[in-house]
Amino acid sequence: MAATSSLTSFSSSTSPFIGSKISTSLPCSAPPSRVSFRPCRVSAACASTAERPTSYIATPTSASSLYEVLGVQMGATCQEIKAAYRKLARILHPDVAANGQRKDTAYEFIRLHEAYETLSDPAKRADYDRTLYRRGRQMSSPFSMSAATATTMAAGYAAGGFSGYTRQRWETDQCCIDPQILTSWGSIAVVNS
């Protein structure tokens, strides 16, 4: 796709700056050269795995859900997600991918890992599921999930209410996963928070 190829050409372009040192080319009238760190921007950038405008990271602009990246159903268990991640890693990881496509698979692997990281963490997954649902409803063009899962999601969301608290979100997940896993996830979430 366009985004990926432009990125590739960008990173493989020869740069005159490699190994150069700035000291000699410094103009006398340069203002103090320092940058400061803007927390609000950063948190926004870090929190979302979704689209970022004017970014070097050209990954998820092709609209597909993290579930599709991993090739699993929305109701997949944690084990299924892990298994799917490993299976795809064995294809996409640059160490095992075919020679010529290394550059491309690196970004596909990064995308795969981001999807895995979000969906294997129960709290992040619940957050993601909500944004996915909300976006789907607002844009009236839901991601190409099956009608059945979309309905399940909607039902679960409604049952959970809109307060957005973790406890409710567990309930939304409950319809897709077995209670055993839910309990273990719950305990992990407590440790993490």
CB of 54 to another protein, least distance (A): 4
Specify the residue, 24 or 180, whose C-beta has the smaller distance to another protein.
24
CA dihedral of residues 192, 130, 167, 86 (deg, nearest 10): -40
Q: Is the CB of 86 or the CB of 134 nearer to another protein?
A: 86
Least Å distance, CB 187 to another protein, is: 9
Contact positions toward another protein, by CB under 8 A? 10-11, 13, 15, 17-24, 26-28, 30-38, 41-42, 45, 52-57, 82-83, 86-87, 89-90, 93-96, 99, 102, 106-107, 109-110, 113, 117, 188, 191-192
- Return the SS3 of 20: coil
- Whole-number minimum distance, CB 166 to another protein, in Å? 17
Q: How far apart are CA 143 and CA 64, in angstroms?
A: 6
Q: Which is nearer to another protein, 3 or 176 (CB)?
A: 3
- CB crowding 59-94: b at 16 or more within 10 Å, else e: bbbeeebbbebbebebbbebeebeebbeebeeebbe
Min. distance of Cβ 175 from another protein in angstroms?
Answer: 25
Query: 178 Cβ partners below 8 Å, 6+ apart?
Result: 77
Cα separation, 81 vs 70, whole angstroms: 7
Q: How far is the CB of 155 from another protein (least distance, A)?
A: 31
CA angle 46, 52, 58 (to 5 degrees): 110
Largest Cα separation within the chain, whole Å, is 68
Please say which residue, 181 or 188, places its beta carbon nearer to another protein: 188
CB of 114 or CB of 171, closer to another protein = 114
Q: What is the residue type of 166?
A: T
Minimum Å gap between C-beta 72 and another protein is 16
Q: Which is nearer to another protein, 56 or 162 (CB)?
A: 56
